[in-house]
Amino acid sequence: MALRKVIGDWLSSIWDRIGTAIADIANVQHETEWSSVPAVDQVASVDAASLTAGSIAVTYPTGATRVRAILVASIHAVNQTATTHHINLIVQGQKDAEGYGNLLDLSAQDTLGLVNLDGAADGWCGTIDITDLVDTSGSTYTFKFLVDSDDANIVDYTSGFTLVLVYTICGGVVIPELTVEDFQANPATGTLSDPERINDDNVNTNAYTFINGRYAEVDLGSNFRIKQYRQYGSSLNEGDGVFKIEYWDGSWHDWITDISIQNYAGWSDWIEGEEVTGSKLRFTVTTVDTGGSGIVINELEVKY
């Protein structure tokens, strides 16, 4: 039986390393981009004015997983009279006409300055991380500038936008993003008392231990991309207990360490760590809480 276990662990390690190698290939990053048609506007006002929006329809390449989305926004202003302008800018965007929000607010500074000369010109170009906005393939995204000059004479504006999508792909083999449902699919095992309670989707049950080094382990079944966790605490904790999270990619590695156990009943915020790829997660107690009940973990959730 001991030999069978050794062979089984060895085979499991080999398959995990193969999966990690595939993940490394799949995580090579690529880029594609789309540009809006440049817009030309004429404004003569001291009130803030919206320029013509640029529209970009986004379709991810087949098998692509988004890593990030970057907007390159540019504007060029030309004075049409011999007056001086100080012009502030705001860049706004929206998805599928759901309503504009500010992507970059430069209104606290004079971003463009046109001197007292007919034909004087100035321009601005910048990049903005819009990964949270561009979250769906097949959607249409629109972007626009809000301009606000301190002079009411005529200024001609030309503006445009380019959206850059950074993604991973590997011949249709893509490492999926971990969901909470994936994390809860297999009950945790390990040396904590009642380890399966850490991912049973029930905040009214708990796992606990009085001994440092005890752990609960979740087998995810295959490789996933992992990025965030949160915990549901307990008033039984004093709050000085500490645990860490490890991930398995053929061997164990620390992911997030020095996590203080929560001492009240409620969810913490989602805490983001470095993106990693693994097929197992382990939650190891490094310092037992002094609250009298050991370190108590009511529930944990992990996702991408």
Mean pLDDT within 136-145: 93
Query: Tell me: the pLDDT tens digits for 176-190?
Result: 899 999 999 999 999
- Domain edges within the chain: 2-23+174-303, 29-168
**For 29-168, which CATH class?**
mainly beta
Secondary structure (DSSP) of 260-299: EPP-SSSBPPPEEEEEEEEEEEEEEEEE--SSSS-EEE-E
Query: Tell me: the pLDDT tens digits for 91-138?
Result: 999 999 999 999 999 988 888 888 888 889 999 999 999 999 998 888
Token pair listed for 294: 């050991």
Location of structure tokens 């605490």: 233
pLDDT value at 9 more than 70:
no
Band (22; pLDDT cuts 50, 70, 90):
low
**For 2-23+174-303, which CATH class?**
mainly beta
Query: Tell me: the pLDDT tens digits for 217-276?
Result: 999 999 999 999 999 999 999 999 999 999 998 889 999 999 999 999 999 999 999 999
- Whether pTM > 0.75 for this model: the answer is no
As a whole number, the mean pLDDT across the chain is 89
**How much is the pLDDT for 91?**
96
Q: Are the CB atoms for 134 and 69 separated by under 8 Å?
A: yes
**How much is the pLDDT for 167?**
87
Q: Are the CB atoms for 233 and 262 separated by under 8 Å?
A: yes
DSSP strand pairing (49-50 vs 65-79): unpaired
Q: Are the CB atoms for 242 and 287 separated by under 8 Å?
A: yes
Mean pLDDT within 130-159: 94
DSSP strand pairing (215-232 vs 189-190): antiparallel
Q: What count of residues does the chain have? A: 304
Band (60; pLDDT cuts 50, 70, 90):
confident
Q: Are the CB atoms for 223 and 19 separated by under 8 Å?
A: yes
What 3-state DSSP class applies to 163?
strand
236 Cβ contact partners less than 8 Å away, ≥ 6 residues apart: 206, 291, 292, 293, 296
Distance (Å, rounded) from C-alpha 190 to C-alpha 192? 6
pLDDT value at 175 more than 90:
no
**How much is the pLDDT for 110?**
83
Distance (Å, rounded) from C-alpha 119 to C-alpha 248? 63
**How much is the pLDDT for 34?**
93
Mean pLDDT within 142-151: 96
pLDDT value at 1 more than 90:
no
